[in-house]
Amino acid sequence: MLQVRGLPLAHRPKSLTGVWGVEGTQFKMPQDVNPRTASSPSSLFNWMLAPRSTYIWVGSSKPAIEKPAATPALTLKLPANLPTQVAGDFEVTGDGPMPSDADVECVWVVNGDLKNAQVIQAAPGPANRQWQLRVDTSRWTDQTTQRVVLLLRHAHTQALLAVSDAQQVHMKKEWQLMAAVDDPVGDDRGPQGQYVYPQDPTYVPGTFDIERLEVWSSGKSLRLKVKMGAINRSWNPANGFDHVAFTFFIGKPDASNSLRVMPLQQDHLPENTHWHYRLRAHGWSNALFTTQGASASAEGTALPEGAKIQVDVAARTVQFDLPASLLADVPSLKGLQLSVNTWDYDNGYRKLSPQGGGSEMGGGQAAQPLWMDRVGLELKP
């Protein structure tokens, strides 16, 4: 039995012309059909077919489809006192007809990100003409221009009904120092203090030596700044430093779904510490991973965006701004655990051996931990 559902009787074509068909293995042209013979309130049209048969009909005319009612034009009006750039969340209000239909919603969209669009609520007032919104900027990257629009969409199907003109808002975050820890100079000799630098003279003293770790924040955005004993740029690296790889471990306050293992580095984080995100960066790589799929021999699931890196050779600092959205889901940065270590990397962490080599660390056995210096801290409540 053939069943056709969905079009009311008046909208069906007057006739269906048979153009091709088979019954079993034999070709058979189907008869023309009048689809208006059935007038079921359910808009169901039935037609009996022979077993193992396939038919194709073509309608005599295109069905008439009811068009949705016109929606009001939208205008995006930012507050008159809104600065040309913002540093964090801000209030925005506007005038314009708001949807009265419960199935239609008006949303604020940034850079086309419909997944994180904010639904706008009408402010109390006559004719529902005013709206207000506190804009969430937790996913906005520092020193960027954001493209914002308003749109009307169906609340259930998400079908787009109307879109406003776009406007731009520039983000320049205000950073605050949350915590810092100083590390002894010259302790970049591995866990037991016995590792030695590779023998190539381009590995200058201080290349692996972390002297200070600073943690800065703006809202829930995180900036990690490391001061080194030396900044090495021997090979003109794309990221502004080379002969060293930084591996950061970031642990949310809630340790659920976290790990202690340090992938590919043959070690674990200290007791009572954990990680949810891991950043590995050297002169030509900048990769951020989650714990999903991570193990001693696997780095985990790579995220699409790494860190924004800035190097100050004179100050001997390397700065890493993590993606703004990375920690947007945590209630607070208080209790966040952070750790960073140094080694070198070239298509994998460089090897360790008792005798060392030109680009190979010495003074340890091949299976020992692969880090020269390590610093960690926790953001206290």
DSSP 259: B
Which pLDDT score, from 0 to 100, does residue 135 have?
87
Out of 46-60, 221-235, 361-375, pick the least confident: 46-60
Sequence spans of domains, the chain: 2-59, 85-171, 176-378
Give the pLDDT band of residue 73 (cuts 50, 70, 90): low
Which pLDDT score, from 0 to 100, does residue 357 have?
96
CATH number of 85-171: 2.60.40.10
Strands 167-171, 85-86: pairing kind: parallel
Which pLDDT score, from 0 to 100, does residue 88 have?
87
Report, as an integer, the average pLDDT of 103-108.
84
pLDDT at 186 over 90: yes
pLDDT at 194 over 90: yes
The answer to whether the beta carbons of residues 283 and 345 sit under 8 Å apart is: no
Residue 26's contacts (CB-CB under 8 Å, 6 or more residues apart) are none
Cα distance between residue 162 and residue 367, in whole Å:
61
Summarize pLDDT for 253-310 with one digit per residue, the tens: 999 999 999 999 999 999 999 999 999 999 999 999 999 999 999 999 999 999 999 9
Q: Are 85-171 and 176-378 the same fold in CATH?
A: yes
> What average pLDDT does the chain have?
86
Output b/e per residue, 145-175; b: 16+ Cβ within 10 A: ebebbbbbbeeeeeeebbebeeeebebebeb
pLDDT at 368 over 80: yes
For residue 64 the two structure tokens come to: 């008439």
Comparing CA positions, the residue from 107, 96, 95 lying closest to residue 154 is 107
Give the pLDDT band of residue 1 (cuts 50, 70, 90): low
- Determine the residue type at 329: D
Give the pLDDT band of residue 99 (cuts 50, 70, 90): low
Which pLDDT score, from 0 to 100, does residue 125 have?
56
Q: Which of 16-30, 69-83, 147-161 has the highest mean pLDDT?
A: 147-161
CATH architecture group of domain 176-378: Sandwich (2.60)
DSSP 9: G
Report, as an integer, the average pLDDT of 75-88.
68
pLDDT at 83 over 70: no
DSSP 374: E
pLDDT at 157 over 90: no
Comparing CA positions, the residue from 350, 325, 341 lying closest to residue 373 is 341
The answer to whether the beta carbons of residues 224 and 248 sit under 8 Å apart is: yes
Q: CB 320: neighbour CB atoms within 10 A?
A: 21
H or E element in which residue 213 lies: strand 210-218
pTM for this one? 0.73
DSSP string, 336-368: -EEEEEEE-BSSSBPPEESS--SSSEESS-TTS
